[in-house]
Amino acid sequence: MKKERIIWAGVVIILISIIVINFSIPGTKATEDDSRKYLDLFGRVFDSLKNSYIEKKESRELIVGAINGMIKTLNDPHTSFLEPKEKENLEIETTGEYGGLGIEIGIRDNKLTVISPIEDTPAEKAGIKSGDRIVKIEGESVVDPDLGKIVEKLRGKPQTKVTVSIEREGIDELIDFTIMREVIKIKSVKSDLIDDIAYIRLISFRKNASLELKSILSRYINKKKIKGIIIDLRNNPGGLLDVAISISDLFIDKGLIVYTKPREDSLPYYSALNKKFYSQAAGTIPSNIPIVLLVNHGSASASEILSGAIKDHKRGILLGTKTFGKGSVQSVVNLNDGYGLRYTTAYYYTPNGTKIHNIGIDPDIELDIPNLSKDEIKEIAKLKEKDLIQTFLKKNKNPEKKEIDKFISEIKGNQVNLDERILNRIIKQEIYRDKKMPLYDLDWDIQLKMALDILKSEISGILNRN
């Protein structure tokens, strides 16, 4: 017991020392006194519970519980005390390969919310969407969600299943998804040419994304002589800050890309976190090549840094829907015995001073892809039960467009009440069930189609002016 008191006394002395250092500036004497007073109060409570509570509690249990309670008062889903396993999970996330479902999650209005499903992962293939709210995992309600613990529940051995129940806007009932876990390997950049326009799907801002993108664009510009670029940031949950800056740097000749601003009295960290990041490469991509960025509610963090820089510098057009609004800087502190603290230390601001966090970035042109209605989801289920598409594809192994159009006209309004655009999409998904789906589908993707129309009009205007 004496040893326990000595250890606790040492912890309090260390905490007080830190507070004295951080508050040894003019005008903070009252705050310092308050800190000493409440740390003493905390010590008394700890002593009482440790020594006299009816059930014996370990020091670790009491102190970790107190730390988590302190963090909970911040009401910040991006700040958390990391137990060793959670800290390990955080480190795994930045490697680009892990076992799980392939979704980026956050907490909005105290609900576990899908920021975005990551492309080509089990979650995306199952039909999980940005904005879905996960309310149950394996039938157990998600109450007061703790991100670290949720990640542990969703991850598991490859080829094992997990069932999540979600709320989706516009649909009354919960939707259950049973998803097979896989090893998640994330490729950062995919690309293709649509006529003389480069279509770039930027999936994440991971370690080599900037080099991949630069290589692809340089090849297109030098060999293919492209006349426009579409950068698709939809459902891109972000990634590394330095990668976001490097990619922004490819398009912006000069000037500010983003800046971070901490709390003004957050010494001794203020100078380290009060940073401005400027363009260095003098615009690798020629400024006469027009750009459209596709964004949606699943575009977050590093995606918003790139979007804000492009928009404020008027280097391109943003098309889609408002971005997610995750614009806070987290610092990770390594603590004893494998523990860590991940906490918010600053906010991101676009070149024009727009705060990103909890606000998001508005597109220049707003256009949404409509969600399936409750009735349409039921019609799709009915369509699958009847095996109409499977029967059609057994007779037509590689159907041409005219054969698909004829089939749709036969069943539409007769055997199934679905829009032609939706039917076309379902048939294509079935055709490509066991092979790689094309990178884009202009019959389905109205946002991409409009981006192409805008660029072709812009290119035509440039040619006419010349």
Cα 369 to Cα 40, 227, 270, 319: the distances in Å are 57, 26, 42, 12
Q: Same structural domain for residues 357 and 399?
A: no
Q: Same structural domain for residues 232 and 319?
A: yes
- What's the pLDDT at 7? 41
- What's the pLDDT at 179? 93
Which amino acid makes up residue 127? G
Q: Same structural domain for residues 125 and 174?
A: yes
Asked if 244 and 213 touch (Cβ cutoff 8 Å), the reply is no
Q: Same structural domain for residues 255 and 351?
A: yes
- Selecting among 35, 188, 301, 307, the annotated active-site residue is 301
Put simply, whether the predicted model's pTM sits higher than 0.75 gets the answer yes
The question of whether 326 is a catalytic residue gets the answer: yes
Residue 84 in domain:
no
> What is the signed CA dihedral for 75, 78, 80, 86, rounded to 10 degrees?
140
Neighbouring CB atoms inside 10 A of 353's CB total 10
Alpha helices of 76-208 — where are they, by DSSP H?
84-93, 122-126, 147-154
- What's the pLDDT at 1? 46
- What's the pLDDT at 327? 93
Of 40-49, 87-96, 172-181, 348-357, the poorest mean pLDDT is in 87-96
Q: Same structural domain for residues 228 and 336?
A: yes
The per-residue pLDDT of the chain, averaged, comes to 85
The question of whether 312 is a catalytic residue gets the answer: yes
Smallest Cα–Cα separation from 63: which of 47, 86, 74, 78? Answer: 47
pLDDT band at 248 (very low <50, low <70, confident <90, very high): very high
pLDDT band at 462 (very low <50, low <70, confident <90, very high): low
Q: Percentage of residues in the chain with pLDDT exceeding 70?
A: 88
- Selecting among 132, 146, 249, 312, the annotated active-site residue is 312
Cα 306 to Cα 89, 108, 221, 262: the distances in Å are 26, 23, 21, 20
Residue ranges making up the domain that contains 114: 97-185
Identify the residue with better confidence: 184 or 300: 300
- What's the pLDDT at 63? 93
Instruction: Count up the domains in the chain and report the number.
Output: 4
Identify the residue with better confidence: 385 or 463: 385
Residue 194 in domain:
yes
The predicted model gives 52-61 an average pLDDT of 93
Q: Same structural domain for residues 297 and 334?
A: yes
- What's the pLDDT at 61? 93
Residue 373 to residue 417: CA distance in whole angstroms: 12
Residue 346 in domain:
yes
Is pLDDT above 90 for 390? no
